[in-house]
Amino acid sequence: MHLAIRGRPKAQARNTDRSSRRVLSWFNQNLLIPLAIFVVVIALWEWAVVAFEIPQYTLPRPSAIWVSFSGESGDLMHHTWLTAKEALLGYLIGNGIALVLAALMAEFKIVEKSLYPYVLVLRSLPIVALAPLLIIWFGFTIWPIVAASALICFFPTLVNGVEGFKAADTTMLELMRSLNASRTQVFQRVKLPNAMPYIFAALKISVVSSMIGAIVGEWIAADAGLGFLTIQANNFVDTLLLFRAIIAMAVLALSWFLLVVIIEKRVLKWQTSS
Partner 1 sequence: MVSPRGHYREESPQVANIELIRQSRDRSVPETGQGLQKGAIHTDSVSKSYGGGSGRIDAVGNISIDVAPGDFVSIVGPSGCGKTTFLKLLGDILEPSTGHVEIDGRPARAMRKGRRVGFVFQNAVLFPWLTVRENVTLPFQIARSGGRFRRVPNEFLERVDRALTTVGLEDFGHRLPRELSGGMQSRVALARALVPEPAVLLMDEPFAALDELTRTEMALHLLSVWERVRTTVVFVTHHIQEAVLLSNRVVVMSRRPGIIRRDITIDLPRPRSLESRRHPLFGEIVEDLTLDFHLSGRD
Q: Of residues 182, 235, 266, 274, which one binds partner 1 by CB under 8 A?
A: 182
Nearer to partner 1, 48 or 175 (CB): 175
Smallest gap from Cβ 165 to partner 1, in A, equals: 15
Smallest gap from Cβ 110 to partner 1, in A, equals: 22
What is the distance between the alpha carbons of residues 274 and 154, in angstroms, rounded to a whole number? 28
Nearer to partner 1, 190 or 221 (CB): 190
Nearer to partner 1, 146 or 168 (CB): 168
DSSP string, 120-138: HHHHHS-HHHHHHHHHHHH
CA 23 to centroid of chain Cα atoms: 26
Q: Is 167 in the site for partner 1 (CB under 8 A)?
A: no
Instruction: Say how many residues touch partner 1, by CB under 8 A.
Output: 22
Do 50 and 219 meet the contact criterion of CB atoms below 8 Å apart?
A: no
Q: Of residues 190, 195, 212, 214, which one binds partner 1 by CB under 8 A?
A: 190
Smallest gap from Cβ 195 to partner 1, in A, equals: 11
What is the distance between the alpha carbons of residues 226 and 219, in angstroms, rounded to a whole number? 9
Smallest gap from Cβ 199 to partner 1, in A, equals: 13
Closest among 112, 188, 128, 116 to 155, alpha carbons compared: 116
Q: Is 54 in the site for partner 1 (CB under 8 A)?
A: no
Smallest gap from Cβ 98 to partner 1, in A, equals: 22
Q: Of residues 193, 224, 240, 246, which one binds partner 1 by CB under 8 A?
A: 193
Do 176 and 186 meet the contact criterion of CB atoms below 8 Å apart?
A: yes
209 three-class SS: helix
Nearer to partner 1, 240 or 268 (CB): 268
Q: Is 271 in the site for partner 1 (CB under 8 A)?
A: yes
Do 76 and 248 meet the contact criterion of CB atoms below 8 Å apart?
A: yes
Instruction: Phi first, then psi: give them for residue 268, nearest 5 degrees.
Output: -100, 35
Q: Under 8 Å CB-to-CB from 256, ≥6 apart: which residues?
A: 84, 88, 207, 211
Q: Is 25 in the site for partner 1 (CB under 8 A)?
A: no
Q: Of residues 12, 63, 188, 255, which one binds partner 1 by CB under 8 A?
A: 188
DSSP string, 151-192: HHHHHHHHHHHHHHHHT--HHHHHHHHHTT--HHHHIIIIIH
Q: Is 124 in the site for partner 1 (CB under 8 A)?
A: no
Q: Is 274 in the site for partner 1 (CB under 8 A)?
A: no
Binding site for partner 1 (CB under 8 A): 169, 171-172, 174-182, 184-185, 188-190, 193, 196, 270-272
